[in-house]
């Protein structure tokens, strides 16, 4: 195993069979060593500093019916909301004052956020905050739409691929959703010039080690600038609500492996980790992640963006909780970075 770890550290690349044997291994020493190397690589590139991104959950209306997601179309028990432009701009203003230099607009696939509304909104944010990055996470759109939003000023886009396996994708989504289209969207985003984020849930129902190997191979192939992974957390009002929660341990292992495969990547330690255990998110940073995305949405709508049950949105998960987050990071000798935190391959690893 030592030789495999060395190759992963030096060459940033492994074959599928090698990744499989790493993931299947139960040797704690191997994983301690991978984690240590991943932390060293992250520290060499970013220092002991964690970028923060202000997450604005713009709408929980969604036309899609993903079997795992709490805001899926058929969940009639969610109280639906859609932020106004004024609410979004005032979230940006509050975030800017707190020190955020990236705003992430995330939401369900809501027809109300068509280009004729988003383009002027992004333009306004871009003009008012020229020193900030605008990230979007609004699902699958046409190439023309992605281009228009880029021209308006958006520069990053998060679109998890969810799984590299078309078969597993079909178990997690209804027939009207296409794996092929999702991957094409990711490729289009990258071609347009977005810093593009991919990712998957760890422990998604039906997921095996082989699927995770395929995910890592796809990440090596597409080489996205951002990779967001988090444990699957069931939501009782979804068709997959009875499946068990994904493993924090496996999520941390994968963060470390992804850091070594893609040394420059922006890797968030996600809210799903924070939801499962307050310290899991800090462990994510210690495992090689370098981004945290506190919630900047208006407090009264946060509980309605419940993609999984018990989703953390307050305390260190909230923009107002930055001091608490800083205190928690200081326990592992890390600090918050208020930089814009663009992807940068220039820095030598």
Out of 308, 318, 319, 325, the residue judged to bind ligand SAM by CB under 6 A: 308
Instruction: Tell me the C-alpha distance between 37 and 52, whole Å.
Output: 23
Distance CA 207, CA 247 (A): 12
- The rounded distance, in Å, linking the Cα atoms of 120 and 123 is 5
Q: Is 329 in the site for ligand SAM (CB under 6 A)?
A: no
307 binds ligand SAM (CB under 6 A): yes
Q: How many residues does the chain have?
A: 349
Cα–Cα distance, 298 to 318 (Å, whole number): 10
Q: Which residues pair with 56 in a beta bridge?
A: 105
Give 69 or 183: the residue with its C-beta nearer to ligand SAM: 69
Which class for 267: exposed (0-12), middle (13-18), buried (19 or more C-beta within 10 A)?
A: buried
In terms of CB distance, is 215 or 283 closer to ligand SAM? Answer: 215
106 interacts with ligand SAM by CB under 6 A: yes
How far is residue 41's CA from residue 259's CA, in Å, rounded to a whole number?
A: 8
Query: Does position 173 bind ligand SAM by CB under 6 A?
Result: no
Closer to ligand SAM by Cβ: residue 62 or 260: 62
By CB under 6 A, name the one of 37, 53, 235, 264 that touches ligand SAM. 235
- Shortest approach of ligand SAM to residue 131 CB, angstroms? 26
Return d(Cα 137, Cα 158) in angstroms, integer: 5
Stretch that binds ligand SAM, among 31-39, 120-128, 227-235, 252-260 (CB under 6 A): 227-235
Q: With binding defined as CB under 6 A, does residue 137 bind ligand SAM?
A: yes
Q: Please identify, among the stretches 112-120, 229-237, 280-288, 340-348, the one whose residues bind ligand SAM according to the rule CB under 6 A.
A: 229-237
- Do the beta carbons of residue 90 and residue 330 sit within 8 Å? no
Stretch that binds ligand SAM, among 73-81, 165-173, 230-238, 247-255 (CB under 6 A): 230-238
**Radius of gyration for the alpha carbons in the chain, expressed in angstroms and rounded:** 19
User: CA 294, CA 270: separation in Å to the nearest integer?
Assistant: 9
Cα dihedral 21, 25, 29, 35 in deg (nearest 10): 70
Q: Is 201 in the site for ligand SAM (CB under 6 A)?
A: yes
Q: Of 41, 58, 135, 139, which lies in the binding site for ligand SAM, with binding defined by CB under 6 A?
A: 139
Q: Which is nearer to ligand SAM, 224 or 230 (CB)?
A: 230
Residues that bind ligand SAM (CB under 6 A): 68-69, 106, 108-109, 137, 139, 159-160, 162, 201, 230, 232-233, 235, 272, 307-308
């Amino acid at each position: 195993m030592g030789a495999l770890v060395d190759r992963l550290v030096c060459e940033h690349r492994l074959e599928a069979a090698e990744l499989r044997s790493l993931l299947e291994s139960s040797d704690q020493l191997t994983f301690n060593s991978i984690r240590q190397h991943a932390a060293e690589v992250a520290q060499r590139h970013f220092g002991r500093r964690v970028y923060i991104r202000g997450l604005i959950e713009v709408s929980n209306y969604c036309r899609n019916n993903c079997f795992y997601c709490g805001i899926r179309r058929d969940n009639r028990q969610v109280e639906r909301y859609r932020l106004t432009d004024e609410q979004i701009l005032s979230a940006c203003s509050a975030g800017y004052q707190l020190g955020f230099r990236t705003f992430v607009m995330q939401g369900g696939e809501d027809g109300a956020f068509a280009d004729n509304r988003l383009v002027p909104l992004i333009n306004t944010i871009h003009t008012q905050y020229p020193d900030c990055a605008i990230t979007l996470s609004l699902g699958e759109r046409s190439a023309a739409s992605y281009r228009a939003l880029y021209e308006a000023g958006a520069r990053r886009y998060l679109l998890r691929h969810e799984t590299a396996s078309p078969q597993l994708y079909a178990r997690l989504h209804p027939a009207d959703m296409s794996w092929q289209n999702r991957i094409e969207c990711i490729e289009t985003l990258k071609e347009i010039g977005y810093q593009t984020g991919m990712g998957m849930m760890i422990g998604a129902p039906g997921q095996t080690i082989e699927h995770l190997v395929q995910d890592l191979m796809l990440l090596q192939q597409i080489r996205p600038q951002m990779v967001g992974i988090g444990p699957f957390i069931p939501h009782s009002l979804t068709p997959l609500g009875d499946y068990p929660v994904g493993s924090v341990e496996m999520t941390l292992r994968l963060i470390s492996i992804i850091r070594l495969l893609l040394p420059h990547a922006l890797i968030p330690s996600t809210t799903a980790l924070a939801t499962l255990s307050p310290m899991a998110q800090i462990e994510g940073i210690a495992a090689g992640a370098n981004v945290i995305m506190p919630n900047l949405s208006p407090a009264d709508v946060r509980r309605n963006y419940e993609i999984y049950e018990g989703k953390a949105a307050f305390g260190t998960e909230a923009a107002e909780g930055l001091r608490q987050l800083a205190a928690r990071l200081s326990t592992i000798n890390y600090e918050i970075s208020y930089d814009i935190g663009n992807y940068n391959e220039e820095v030598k690893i």
